[in-house]
Amino acid sequence: MSESDPCTPGTLGGQLRVSLQRIARKLRAQRGEADLTDGQFAVLASIKRHGPMTPGALAEHENIRPPSMTRTVNTLVDLGLVAKASHESDKRLVVVELTEAGLNEIAVTRRRRDAWLTKKLGQLTPEERQTLADASELLTRIASQ
């Protein structure tokens, strides 16, 4: 097989990278009412997934520096999407938790993203959707390695 063969790992990898990045960019463009940045939304999603946590733990989860997380958290507090509360066992610390508005922002954003993707998938034939279902299993396997 030559490198121009679309099924070689190098060629296919490049094509998948570009396609997945484009799809991810279009999905991220589907936002809730607050029109959050990707980083701000990621913080909300992380709190939803892992529960309330300190800004330091959030920074570690999101792999960003604590001062940047402090700015992000303060912006989300100002928007009413998260609240700061005292830590149960160490009153010197604060934990960041979702507010009802934050939960709603996550739900609206996810609903819009799902609707966009559902619309696009609805434009495909049943055979094409089956191909994507098969590819989804493979991509999930690649992502988990």
pLDDT tens digits, 77-126: 999 999 999 878 877 889 999 999 999 999 999 999 999 999 999 999 99
Region 32-144: CATH code: 1.10.10.10
Contacts of 53 (CB under 8 A, 6+ apart): 47, 61, 95, 96
Average pLDDT over residues 28-45: 94
Say how far apart CA 96 and CA 141 lie, in whole Å.
33
pLDDT digits (tens, 9 = 90+) for 39-76: 999 999 999 999 999 999 999 999 999 999 999 999 99
Pairing of strands 94-98, 82-86: antiparallel
- DSSP-derived secondary structure letter, 81: S
Considering the chain, what is the average pLDDT of its residues? 93
Q: Is the pLDDT at 3 greater than 70, yes or no?
A: no
Residue 88 tokens, joined:
């149960």
Q: What is the pLDDT of residue 6?
A: 79
